[in-house]
Chains A and B, each alone.
Chain A
Amino acid sequence: MTVNDSIVVVLIASSIFYGTPLVFAAVGELLAERSGVLNLGVEGMMLIGAVTAFWSVQHLGGPTWLVLLLATMIGGAAALATSLIHAVLAVSLRANQIVSGLALTIFAGGAGLSSYIGNVGSLGGQPAKHEFTAINLFGLSGVPVLGPIVFHQNALVYASWALVILALAYLYRTRTGLHLRAVGESPQTADVMGVNVARYRYAHTLAGGLLAGVAGAYYSLAITPNWIDGMTSGAGWIAIALVIFAFWRPELTLAGAYLFGLFSSLGFVLQAHQVPLPPELFGSLPYVMTVAVLVIVSTGWAKQRLGAPASLGVPYIREER
């Protein structure tokens, strides 16, 4: 048994594997929230992404890498289209964003459109024809400790790292990123500066949808390569909680996502090591830990609401400026 088979290395590698969809979904939600739009429809959008990506994989022909790329893009595009509903309601019609987001999850979620698509396409109960598998990057997967953790992950894991760097650069190093933050903090000011508030809010809500769709595709093409109704089982909600843990900063979503990846994988790894505890206990671990971490975060920084965009969830009405 080498060091790479030790439980610690396996746990770290698999927490990155299980945490990656949360990175996509959380960064997407972060972008939407930075523009001032709270979208509670992440779970529903992820499921739309998961089902459409899975459908694409079953129906598209070609080399595996191309099929997977197209399927992920289709999943993202479908979820983007879903998020348009929330954008119209929240930005143009100034509806209550909490109820609108919940409606989106009911509409698209486990007993809604995603389940309908799965039903019509009879996608349940068949294995994916293509799936994301770990890449042996630069042939370094055998390197002790770092090999399985850094150099033996699937393509979407590497894409998520690039995404976090891009999001950081975008938010803090570009003019549009600056405008975005202004829109989220004070849309009145941004409007006076000549920034089109509605356009920013639309664009970033849709970007959030796109990334949620990619996160969903990760579920149906990497974690469990098949289609089950409601297969994301609450990950969309954990992603929303992650944005709060991360104080609305992309780099911290990475840490948070891997922490939750750890809780998800702990059950599987410990069960493989024959720890005699009920599987339901491990299954509830990510949810219980989400609550626990949320409590810790909200006690320490509750007064400052550290990092929360000041106009989050508040519709912008120009006539009241």
Chain B
Amino acid sequence: MAATAVVLLAAGKDPIATYARLFDRAFIEPGSLSNTMITATPLLLTGLAAAAAFRMRLWNIGAEGQLYLGAVGASGAGLLLRDQSGAVIIAGMIAGGLLFGAGWAVIPGLLKAYFNTNEIITTLMLNYVAGLFLTYLIFGSRSFWRDLSTFSARAFPQGKPLPAAAMWPSFDLNLVVLPFGFVLGVLAAGLLWWLYRSTIFGLQARILGDSQSAARYAGVKTRRVVVTMMALSGALAGLGGASEIGDFRHVLDPRGLQQAGLGYAGIVVAALGRYNPFAVVLVAFLLGGLANAGYSLQGPGFPAGLVGVLQGMILFFALGGELLIHYRISLPLPFGERGLSRQ
């Protein structure tokens, strides 16, 4: 807080007034809590995607691209099923998002499992490929996703709008309106928590995260766990893309999706939540509030880049603080036991 105050001062803003306004715009003003939920929903889903993989030290940085593919799958399903009933369309969109996201993530998962290829680089490279693919679908081709019905749509490329029945429901709780995607995200968080805590797969993933060789000695099928976890992580990010389409955008919008940087923000959310699914829900809510307040404050005097700066700084301080939290004065081990303790 103090450091971001310095930044705000440097940018010529009064920090205390800004904080008050931020808090106001994020949580207090009428309707602001619902808007916070809207910005928190994709952060929750991409945050869970990153948390699932990072928890076992599988560094899936590809939530960004997996989210794009999820959006492609969900909007494709929504357009294909346009004549069906609302429930069928929405189920199809969720399935499309999950499958496309998982499918995109399985590529680096297989490369990691069978060739031991560094997943940080491969997932990241695939983000750029996915972004170009999105652009190609709308701007570079006459694809199924592109609207070619009117003259202006042919001149200025844009996606086909989804039918009204493809809009996801939201839940009005008087105080706050919950988007369907947020509800799905909370369910997914519970599922992820249960998966890591109470299933054999979760145990295997935790062992693999701690020590590859221990996992192999314990008879864990390491390749299967890696690929499955990548698919799961990608499916969550893909669901984030589906929610972007179903809850908010209702059209495949390459520019808007790429500018939002939701996948990268998910990394911040996961790291701040220390990869705990429930903490991720909370962090997504808080960062959603920050982003929401940021949007409403973002006039000509509050330039776009500050959001990334603030996210980065929050992460830096969280990382630096961890040393202090875990700092213990410990006596060195007797000489003979050292080799064991380090392995």
Contacts and interface: CB of A to CB of B under 8 A. Distances in A.
Interface of A: 40, 85, 88-89, 93-96, 98-100, 102-104, 106-120, 229, 233-234, 237-238, 240-241, 244, 278-281, 283-284, 287-288, 290-291, 294-295, 298-299, 302, 319-320
Which 9 pairs between the two chains have the least Cβ-Cβ distance?
Answer: A107-B312, A116-B305, A112-B308, A115-B305, A119-B303, A103-B315, A280-B136, A111-B308, A95-B319
Nearest to A106: B312
Contacts of B322: 93, 95
Given A295-B111, A298-B116, A319 B332 contact: yes
Contacts of A287: 125-126, 128-129
Main secondary structure of the interface of B (DSSP, over half): helix
Contact of B121 (A89, A117, A240): A240
Nearest to A116: B305
Contact of A106 (B115, B117, B267, B304): B267
A279 B129 CA distance: 12
B332 to A, nearest CB: 7
B330 interface: yes
Contacts of A284: 128-129, 132-133
Nearest to A107: B312
A93 B320 contact: yes
Nearest to A299: B115
8 contacts: A102-B267, A103-B268, A278-B136, A280-B135, A284-B129, A291-B111, A295-B117, A319-B332
Contacts of A290: 121, 125
Interface in B255-304: 259, 261, 264-265, 267-268, 271, 303-304
Contacts of B59: 98
Contacts of B133: 280, 284
Nearest to B300: A119
Contacts of A117: 305
B316 interface: yes
A16 B320 CA distance: 40
Q: Max chain B CB contacts within 10 Å: which of A99, A237, A295?
A: A99
Chain B interface size band reads 35 or more
Nearest to A98: B59
B140 interface: yes
Nearest to B270: A99
Given A112-B308, A119-B304, A294 B132 contact: no
A233 B132 CA distance: 11
B132 A283 contact: yes
A278 B61 CA distance: 27
Interface string B129-147: 1001101100011000000
Interface of B: 11, 59, 61, 108, 111, 115-118, 120-122, 124-126, 128-129, 132-133, 135-136, 140-141, 259, 261, 264-265, 267-268, 271, 303-309, 311-313, 315-316, 319-320, 322-323, 330, 332, 342
Contacts of A107: 308-309, 311-313, 315-316
A98 B53 CA distance: 14
A116 B319 contact: no
Contact of B268 (A106, A109, A240, A288): A106
Nearest to A111: B308
B304 A98 contact: no
Given A102-B61, A244-B118, A284-B128, A85 B308 contact: no
Contacts of A120: 11, 303
A288 B125 contact: yes
B125 A234 contact: yes
Nearest to A294: B117
A112 B312 contact: yes
A291 B122 contact: yes
A89 B315 CA distance: 11
A25 to B, nearest CB: 14
B129 A278 contact: no
A198 to B, nearest CB: 14
Given A107-B308, A109-B308, A280-B135, 8 more contacts: A93-B320, A112-B311, A280-B132, A281-B136, A284-B133, A288-B129, A291-B125, A302-B116
B52 to A, nearest CB: 16
A290 B111 CA distance: 13
Nearest to A233: B128
A319 B320 contact: no
A27 to B, nearest CB: 18
A290 B61 CA distance: 16
Contacts of B125: 234, 237-238, 241, 287-288, 290-291
A237 B261 contact: no
Given A100-B319, A280-B132, A280-B136, A114 B305 contact: yes
Contacts of B312: 103-104, 106-108, 112-113
B342 to A, nearest CB: 8
A93 to B, nearest CB: 5
B307 A111 contact: yes
Contacts of B128: 233-234, 284, 287
